[in-house]
Amino acid sequence: MSRVKVLKLDTGGRRRGGNYDRGRALVAGGAGFLGSHLCERLLSDGHEVIALDNFHTGKGYNLAGIARDGSFTCIRHDIIDALPTDLAVDEIYNLACPASPPHYQADPIHTFKTSVLGSINLLELARRHNAKIFQASTSEVYGDPLVHPQPEGYFGNVNTHGPRSCYDEGKRSAETLFFDYSRTYGIDVRVARIFNTYGPRMQPDDGRVVSNFIVQALRGDDITVYGSGSQTRSFCFVDDLIEGFVRLMNAAVPPQHPVNLGNPVEFTIMELAESVIDYTNSRSRIVHRPLPVDDPRQRKPDISFARQHLGWEPKVALSEGLAHPTSYFDALLGGRRFVAPRAVQASSAREATA
């Protein structure tokens, strides 16, 4: 696998030659799960792309497929540190923050700084160069919601001092900063609230439910379900989500509020576990563990605004999308031959009619 050339930040202000139809885009967190997919999409759309990452959770191999692209540059940098004034860009996507509980709880203060100080640094960069800027917020801002499904106008039910608060409150604070910069300085901001997303390049140890279940099933380990498994989630395939990012950034009029992006088809955690076991032909057993602190009971987006104003909704059903991360993890775990799946049972009829 080809290696990614990582540059020091002081080279980032250099514009390379070439004609780019869509301008120069900076992707903070560009070596991460979502960031690497976004970099690929922006390159295919004709952008010159700079990936900025501190590589705490991002991986260089996620960018191997575009490492030799002449329109792509990767820079090692932490966005909580100052950015150079000559880093001229037309668009900024801020995806730079650990997004899984084990990762963001490992250094909660740094996580919060990334959301707050990092956002300020990127917003100042956008202000300096009159660039559009996108913030990857999260459905975690809704906390353990008392309203279901969750519309953008719901203010949430969030613990401000629990173990998840560094992420939940950090993202809420970042939203505040983005819209205050918009009102104060006239910056063009776009804020997306991302619901559970899955696909290739998730990390096998990231603690998210889809990656946990697939890795456990492929290894033949017990499938760990926290609580009864009756809690619900909605799972969006990564390609669908990236399409939502691009449509939101390209919208002629910037929405004056965050926009939900996620799949509104809802599953219980037990349904997901049974689907993964069936799909992988695994002999794994389902075991139950205590529910983590502040784990939400329900999570489902109201995407009415995205449907009406962006013409966006997910296209890939879970029964179809599971193939991609399963094949990815099968290769990553040592190349054990992936067995062709049986029919996926979990609510496939519901998916088709949703």
**Which are the catalytic amino acids?**
167
Hey, how many other C-beta atoms are within 10 angstroms of the C-beta on 22? 15
| 3-class DSSP state of 141 | helix
| 3-class DSSP state of 260 | strand
Please state, in angstroms and rounded to a whole number, the distance separating the CA atoms of residues 320 and 279. Answer: 10
CA angle 178, 180, 183 (to 5 degrees): 110
CA angle 127, 307, 167 (to 5 degrees): 50
**Pairing of β 132-138 and β 236-237:** unpaired
The residues near 143 (Cβ < 8 Å, ≥ 6 apart) are 156, 157, 158, 159, 168, 294, 296
CA angle 201, 203, 204 (to 5 degrees): 120
Please state, in angstroms and rounded to a whole number, the distance separating the CA atoms of residues 216 and 225. Answer: 11
The Cα-based distances of 110 to 26, 40, 70, 170, 225 in angstroms read 21, 28, 33, 10, 29
